[in-house]
Structures are given as structure tokens and as C-alpha cells.
């Protein structure tokens, strides 16, 4: 009892989805499962829809670039700060060395 409802013997529906790059992906769903409106294309990562004439627009192109630019900006800012910190640390170390030298030779 219940064996036939599980695994491969369970009825499945295959639903084709199409992405903006004209890729076709045909995932299969359990018969009783809700079929989503969109499916991530495994080839390009774009969302794929059920209408081949009107695939969902790739939403990541623009925001992704902006985000990447933001990350790059942030990183160079952090790198710049790191270099400055390093330079300051070196300067302080040099000064401490000079002070120690002068102190050693003062008396």
C-alpha cells in the first residue's frame, strides 16, 4: 500500500521552459506538484518561462553589473585604506626606532 505512489512509478509531468537565450529546459514534476511559472535555466542561469515567444527578461544583467561595480569600488577603497594603514604603521615603527636610537645615545 502506497508503494506505487513513490519513486519512478509516480506519474510525472514534463513541462518545457524557455529562457531569453532560447534554451529549452524540460524539467519533470510530480503529477500532484504545483508547476512554477518560472524555472532557472541550467545553461545560462536566466529565468525561463513557459511561453517560448515571451521568455522572462534576464533580471541579473544590469543589477549584477552595478553590484559588481559597487563591490570593486568598495574593494579598492578598502585596499587603499589597507595600504595607508600599512604605510602609517611603517612610519610609526621608523619613528619609534629613531626615538629608541636617540634615547640609547643620549646618555
Please report whether residue 19 would count as binding Zn ion according to CB under 5 A.
yes
CA angle 74, 78, 83 (to 5 degrees): 150
- In the complex with Zn ion, the residue whose CB is nearer, 21 or 76, is 21
Cell 559597487 sits on residue: 70
For the CB of residue 88, give the shortest distance to Zn ion in the complex, in Å.
50
Stretch of 16-24, 29-37, 65-73, 78-86 lying at the interface with Zn ion (CB under 5 A): 16-24
Residue 61's Cα: distance from chain center in Å?
A: 12
Residue with cell 626615538: 99
Question: Cell 505512489, residue?
Answer: 5
Q: Within positions 33 to 62, which residues make up the interface with Zn ion, using CB under 5 A?
A: 41, 43-44, 46
Binding site for Zn ion (CB under 5 A): 19, 21, 23, 41, 43-44, 46
Amino acid at each position: 500500500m502506497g508503494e506505487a505512489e513513490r519513486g519512478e512509478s509516480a506519474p510525472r509531468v514534463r513541462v518545457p521552459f524557455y529562457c531569453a537565450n532560447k534554451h529549452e529546459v524540460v524539467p519533470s514534476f510530480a503529477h500532484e506538484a504545483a508547476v512554477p511559472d518560472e524555472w532557472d535555466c541550467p545553461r545560462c542561469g536566466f529565468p525561463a518561462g513557459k511561453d517560448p515567444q515571451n521568455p522572462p527578461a534576464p533580471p541579473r544583467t544590469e543589477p549584477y553589473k552595478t553590484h559588481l561595480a559597487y563591490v570593486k569600488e568598495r574593494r579598492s577603497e578598502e585596499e587603499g585604506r589597507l595600504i595607508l594603514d600599512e604605510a602609517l604603521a611603517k612610519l610609526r615603527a621608523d619613528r619609534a626606532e629613531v626615538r629608541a636610537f636617540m634615547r640609547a645615545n643620549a646618555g
